[in-house]
């Protein structure tokens, strides 16, 4: 059993477990991903059970509070103004009360965390005023709050903290080596700088990536190694399966083998044992069996609701049926 893999134990003993490693190398992660599948799943389950209830799934809901018109050129994203054939029209920032209406519905449907996304390079001051009011209102409903607004400086991160923000999402997307093939309008270091500002402000980090953007096995290992080598692991790690949207440069990307995707989930769980690993975008195209393997590999959070920003997500009733078939339950606990 490699370094960092913890024998199975009760999740109630998690506090006594050693601190997770933050020095994972690409080669170590690549070796994990390449393990025989039964061995990889056993190790992922052992790590998962050491810190979490393996039958529990955390539910989050994601709302696009400002859609389209983004000046970035992310090749996967239909909200980019550079991908006009992506079918997403630019909209204005939603009103606070309209967002709170959606948050109430999410809470009543069982969500523990309400995530708000805006298609910006970085927020303007007057927009940040409105977002801070949204954060305060959503927290007043008893939900955890998460926003993704693009790049932040230290002062903006401080404002979000003062509004009571729980989590900030800012994904690395892919490996440092493959990044330039996907995005040219901001650098990998820009992303790391924003994550540092969020950490320094005392806000929890939600940071993951996307599988299926033409990367090779080494890049997938490089993404997980980059996440697992941050000074502190993200509290939430969303792993997305590329949604191939017509009109974007990646519309014709090769599909990802479901077993290969499960391997990435398992590697995330083993290398970041205390993090919530979220099975994020792309679930609409996954079979129930593929999602079940992801849960067995250590994914313990999903987005609930029929849309993720602008792309489809399984109907809530489908998710409820699957979780019931598996004997799993949702959690409203804070994490």
Closest residue by Cα to residue 296 from 332, 259, 254, 271? 259
CA triplet 297, 300, 306: central angle to 5 degrees? 115
- Binding-site members for [4Fe-4S] cluster are 70, 74, 77
DSSP code per residue over 89-107: ---PPPPHHHHHHHHHHHH
Closest residue by Cα to residue 96 from 66, 59, 56? 66
- Binding-site members for [2Fe-2S] cluster are 115, 146, 206, 278
Task: Mark 3-39 as b/e (b = at least 16 C-beta within 10 Å).
Answer: ebbbeeeeeeeeeeeeebeeebebebbbebbebeeee
Residue 283: both structure tokens together: 């679930």
Residue 123: both structure tokens together: 């927020």
Closest residue by Cα to residue 127 from 154, 164, 156, 106? 156
Residues catalogued as catalytic: 70, 74, 77, 115, 146, 206, 278
- Binding-site members are 70, 74, 77, 115, 146, 206, 278
Residue 35: both structure tokens together: 């393990």
């Amino acid at each position: 059993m490699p370094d960092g893999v913890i024998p199975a134990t009760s999740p109630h003993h998690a506090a006594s477990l050693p601190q997770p490693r933050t020095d994972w190398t690409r080669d170590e992660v690549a070796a994990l991903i390449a393990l025989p599948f039964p061995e990889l799943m056993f190790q992922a389950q052992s790590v998962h059970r050491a810190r979490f209830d393996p039958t529990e799934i955390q539910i989050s809901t994601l709302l696009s509070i400002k859609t389209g018109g983004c000046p970035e050129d992310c090749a996967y994203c239909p909200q980019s103004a550079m991908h006009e054939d992506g079918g997403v029209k630019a909209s204005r920032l939603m009103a606070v009360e309209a967002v709170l209406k959606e948050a109430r519905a999410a809470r009543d449907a069982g969500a523990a965390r309400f995530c708000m996304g805006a298609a910006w390079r970085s927020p303007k001051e007057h927009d940040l005023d409105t977002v801070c009011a949204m954060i305060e209102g959503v927290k007043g409903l008893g939900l955890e709050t998460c926003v993704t607004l693009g790049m932040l400086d230290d002062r903006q991160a401080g404002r979000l903290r003062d509004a009571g923000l729980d989590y900030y999402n800012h994904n690395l997307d892919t490996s440092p080596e493959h990044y330039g093939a996907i995005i040219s309008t901001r650098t990998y270091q820009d992303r790391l700088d924003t994550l540092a500002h969020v950490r320094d402000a005392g806000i929890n980090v939600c940071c993951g990536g996307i599988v299926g953007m033409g990367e090779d096995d080494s890049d997938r290992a490089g993404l997980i190694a980059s996440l697992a080598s941050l000074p502190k692991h993200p509290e939430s790690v969303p792993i997305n399966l590329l949604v191939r949207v017509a009109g974007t440069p990646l519309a014709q990307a090769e599909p990802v083998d479901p077993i290969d995707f499960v391997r990435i989930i398992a590697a995330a769980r083993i290398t970041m044992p205390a993090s919530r690993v979220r099975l994020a975008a792309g679930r609409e195209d996954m079979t129930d069996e593929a999602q079940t393997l992801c849960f067995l590999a250590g994914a313990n959070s999903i987005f609930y609701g029929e849309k993720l920003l602008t792309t489809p997500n399984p109907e809530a009733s489908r998710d409820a049926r699957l979780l019931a078939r598996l004997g799993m339950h949702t959690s409203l606990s804070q994490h």
